[in-house]
Amino acid sequence: MPSLTLPYAEPYNPAPPPTEELDYVDLPVLDFSKTSTPKGWATLAEIAKNAMATQGFLTVINHGYTAAQTKRMFDIANIPFDHVPPEEKGRYVSNMKETGSYQGYKLPQLFHIENGVYDRKEQYSINFDVEKRSHPEALRPFLPEIEAFGKFCHFHIVHPILKLLAQGLQLPEETFVDMHDYNAVGESSIRFIKYYTRPEEEEIKTKNVWLKGHTDIGSVSVLFSQPVAGLQILSPEGHWQWARYVPNGLVINIGDMLQFLSNGFYKATVHRVVQPPPSQGGLARLGLFFFSMPDDSIVLRPVQGSPVLEKMRKEKIPSHEDNEGENAAPTAEMWRKARTASYGFVDLKKEGNVETEVINGIVVKHYN
């Protein structure tokens, strides 16, 4: 029988939110307590559709994961950074260039940002099949909780979002859910990220950018809101705006794969991480995420049968319409491997503030 007492995790105490008045983005709110009635559900479907077709981001509240559970997951999220010795970390580093997978550690100082400055972002990724790889000793007692967390995100956050978004295209509710099978092989992941502060000269050389502007690779990204500001979203007008801290709220965004599947109707919006504002200067920034992806075998071609997509077919948005030749639609596995193996390593072509690379015939943009 499993033990009823949870293993001890050192409490992680986050900083208070910033005191500055920042230029915050207004994100539409999905109140999941409304999912239980047909009327509430229809309202949420409308909000989700409009949000993801324009901003590509929204906030979820009342999702059912309690503030205490979230706090506990942040305590656990800090373990691979503060409680694993450096030599042991070295044994669990992921070889992204060769495997095209983030599973394991990505240590700081790996991705080039600008002017010879490398990132200070450390991350630890765990496949939602937590047994797929072994993990550092300090993390092992927490694997059942991490697995339960991944399961919660998959079934209670990502699946409802996918249903709402299918409804937004007037498709059967299960259209995208069927592509996200908990038991299929895929790379949906729980990820912990810690950013460390940098010397002033690196801040200057990179114009305070900690993680370059990018779109996410997968379908739905779930970010547990946390008080240390840093995340910025590129508005449709081209301004960077800050994501606001919502206690126990979630920031949800669409990645490339759902953009492809919806023929560009749902937007994979560019976002980045910058140095926190002065009131939070000198603080590390810990993040808790679930990055969802369709099963590895799913071909990322636009879904058929949506009256909404039929109407907008004339607009040509980067996607994989045909299934042959150079521009053949990749599978989820091909796309995530290609993007993971190249991110931060390849020489990019620079035009103003935008740098580009071409993957599977699609231009991938990186912003500073």
Ligand X SMILES: O=C(O)CCC(=O)C(=O)O
- Which residues of the chain form contacts with ligand X (CB under 6 A)? 193, 211, 216, 223, 230-231, 271, 273, 287
Give the pairing of strands 57-61 and 29-31.
parallel
Tokens standing for residue 186: 């895929």
49 or 271: CB nearest ligand X:
271
In the shown chain, the binding pattern of residues 54 to 73 toward Fe ion, with x for contact by CB under 5 A and - for none, equals --------------------
Q: Would you count residue 187 as binding Fe ion (CB under 5 A)?
A: no
Which residue is at the shortest CB distance from Fe ion? 216
Residue list 202-261, contact with Fe ion (CB under 5 A):
216
Cβ of residue 285: shortest distance to ligand X, in angstroms? 7
* 177 or 273: CB nearest ligand X: 273
What does 220 bind: ligand X, Fe ion, none (CB cut-off 5 to 8 Å by kind)?
none
CB nearer to ligand X: give 106 or 135. 106
CB of 252 to ligand X, least distance (A): 12
Contacted entry of Fe ion, ligand X, none for residue 309, CB cut-off 5 to 8 Å set by kind: none
Query: In 3D, which of 312, 215, 319 has the Cα closest to residue 269?
Result: 215
How many angstroms separate the Cα of 129 from the Cα of each of 133, 182, 367?
A: 9, 9, 32
**Does position 119 bind Fe ion by CB under 5 A?**
no
Nearer to ligand X, 92 or 224 (CB): 224
Q: Are the C-beta atoms of residues 22 and 277 closer than 8 Å to each other?
A: yes
Nearer to ligand X, 142 or 245 (CB): 245
Query: 77 or 165, CB closer to ligand X?
Result: 77
State the binding partner of 193 from Fe ion, ligand X, none, CB within 5 to 8 A by kind: ligand X
Q: Cβ-closest residue to ligand X?
A: 231
Q: What is the sign, positive or negative, of the torsion defined by CA atoms of 136, 140, 142, 144?
A: positive
Residues 336 and 55: their CA atoms lie apart, in Å, by: 23
What does the alpha-carbon distance between residue 206 and residue 112 come to, in Å, rounded to a whole number? 10
Rounded least distance, CB 230 to ligand X, Å: 6
Least distance (Å) between residue 191 CB and ligand X:
7
Q: Which does 287 bind (CB under 5 to 8 A by kind): ligand X, Fe ion, none?
A: ligand X
Least distance CB 223 / ligand X (angstroms): 6
Quote the least distance from Cβ 235 to ligand X, whole Å.
Answer: 16
CB atoms within 10 A of CB 32: 19
Sites of contact with Fe ion (CB under 5 A)? 216
